Amino acid sequence: MKLTRRNAMQAALAGALLGRSAVSSAIDVDTQRKVDDAIVRALDFLASAQLPEGAWRADSYGECTAATSLACMAYMAAGHIPGEGPYGDIINKGIRWVISRQEDNGMLIAKRSHGPMYAHGISTLMLAEAIGMVDEAQAKLLKRSLELAIRLILESQAYEKDKRHAGGWRYQVDSRDSDLSVTGWQVMSLRAAKDVGCDVPADAIDKAIEYVKHCSTPDKRGFGYQPGSGATPTLTGVGISCLEVCGAHDTEEARGAADWLKTHPIRIDTNYCFYGVYYTGVGLFKLGGEHAEQSHANICKLLLPIQSADGAWTPEHGSERGAGKSYATALAILGLAIEYRYLPIYQR
């Protein structure tokens, strides 16, 4: 049998599933079993929350390409393949719904909002992550959609901006400034798309890295929303992740930020806590070593006690309060499942 990327993925998943109880050296076997159980219950919750057409809701925003894409990635991060197994149809329905919302210019969004590039970046990342897990016919469909989405991201980056904001992204395609939060999703998308063969110029990655570094604090001890802003735990995770996935590994900015997170970890009352769980988890996992182990242990300690009986997590603080259970649950799974290493973006 020809060893396609899909065959290889299936083999890797099968082997990894046999050893889940020993996934991470940062936590003990009992905690790892609790993580595995928490993820299973969370996936069951997401299955119950999926709408008939395939979408998931973000409470304040209704049917949402971002929430749907996060849910699809959560299933894949836990080792489930589109079209196969107990969740295969659920993932496929979600992917198809996201693609069905793509506009002529490539934008992946269910409805207009003040910040459509958020949802677009998240959904673009999901398509790039899914391509290697679907059959060849579906991969061609995803590739066409992904290429349109990436073209839009590159066009948005190219809009003229002053030196302070050059290389990044903000809420709208034609925004003339940038912020690290929106930029993070576009950077993750470009890197994932490049890995699956999309045409992503090296110059676009280089410019993005430069912008991310500009968002580092002057003492290189964290990252802020925009150049000159103070560090926050969530955005520090975004900054580290962007540098690490783009090949700027173990930079002074990333190391200093990781050290800062030791004394400023993600907490349940952190603004955008679940968003931060994902990004600090990815960034510190990619950085590796003690930082990775401490991060994973902190995420488990934070999330396991606050999972609801129905398997969900509920955002109760700050700006995430209106995003809803599906959003928070998907991001919690993505944070807890990083050590499984199933998603391509998680690979070191």
Report the candidate in 329, 275, 323 with the shortest Cα–Cα distance to residue 60: 323
Which ranges of 264-346 does DSSP label H, i.e. alpha helix? 273-287, 289-303, 325-336
Type of residue found at 171: Y
Please give the sequence-ordered ranges of beta strands (E in DSSP) within the chain, or none if there are none. Answer: 56-58, 62-64
Q: For residue range 294-311, list pLDDT tens digits in order.
A: 999 999 999 999 999 999
Q: Which long-range contacts (CB under 8 A, 24 or more apart) does 101-105 make?
A: 101/65, 102/145, 102/148, 102/149, 105/148, 105/152, 105/173
Q: Which two tokens stand for residue 311?
A: 């398997």
pLDDT at 2 over 60: no
- Mean pLDDT, the chain, integer: 92
Please report the sign of the dihedral spanned by the C-alpha atoms of residue 276, residue 36, residue 327, residue 323. Answer: negative
Domain assignments of the chain as residue spans, ordered by start: 26-338
Q: For residue range 269-296, list pLDDT tens digits in order.
A: 999 999 999 999 999 999 999 999 999 9
Candidate from 14-28, 98-112, 208-222 with smallest mean pLDDT: 14-28
| pLDDT (0 to 100) of residue 222 | 98
pLDDT at 14 over 70: no
Looking up tokens 């995003």 gives 323
- Cβ proximity of 208 and 183 under 8 Å: yes
Mean pLDDT on 8-24 = 45
Q: Who has greater pLDDT, 167 or 17?
A: 167
| pLDDT (0 to 100) of residue 185 | 98
Q: Tell if the pTM clears 0.85, that is, is over it.
A: yes
Beta-carbon contacts of residue 173 (< 8 Å; ≥ 6 apart): 105, 107, 116, 117, 152, 155, 156, 159
Name the burial class of residue 104, with classes exposed (0-12), middle (13-18) and buried (19+) by CB atoms within 10 angstroms of its CB: exposed
| pLDDT (0 to 100) of residue 5 | 44
Distances (CA, A) of 203 to 158, 189, 208, 246, 247: 11, 15, 9, 12, 13
Q: Identify the band that residue 21 occupies on the pLDDT scale cut at 50, 70 and 90.
A: very low
Mean pLDDT on 134-139 = 93
Q: Identify the band that residue 23 occupies on the pLDDT scale cut at 50, 70 and 90.
A: low
* Residues recorded for the chain: 348
Distance of CA 94 to the CA centre of its chain: 16
Highest mean pLDDT pick, 16-30, 100-114, 244-258: 244-258
pLDDT at 60 over 50: yes
Q: Identify the band that residue 192 occupies on the pLDDT scale cut at 50, 70 and 90.
A: very high
Query: Is CATH 2.10.109.10 the classification given to domain 26-338?
Result: no
Please report the sign of the dihedral spanned by the C-alpha atoms of residue 234, residue 205, residue 182, residue 109. Answer: negative
Number of other CB atoms surrounding residue 229 within 10 Å: 15
Q: Identify the band that residue 49 occupies on the pLDDT scale cut at 50, 70 and 90.
A: very high
| pLDDT (0 to 100) of residue 53 | 97
Q: Who has greater pLDDT, 24 or 26?
A: 26
| pLDDT (0 to 100) of residue 25 | 65
Report the candidate in 348, 296, 330 with the shortest Cα–Cα distance to residue 75: 330
257 phi and psi angles, rounded to 5 deg? -65, -40
| pLDDT (0 to 100) of residue 4 | 44
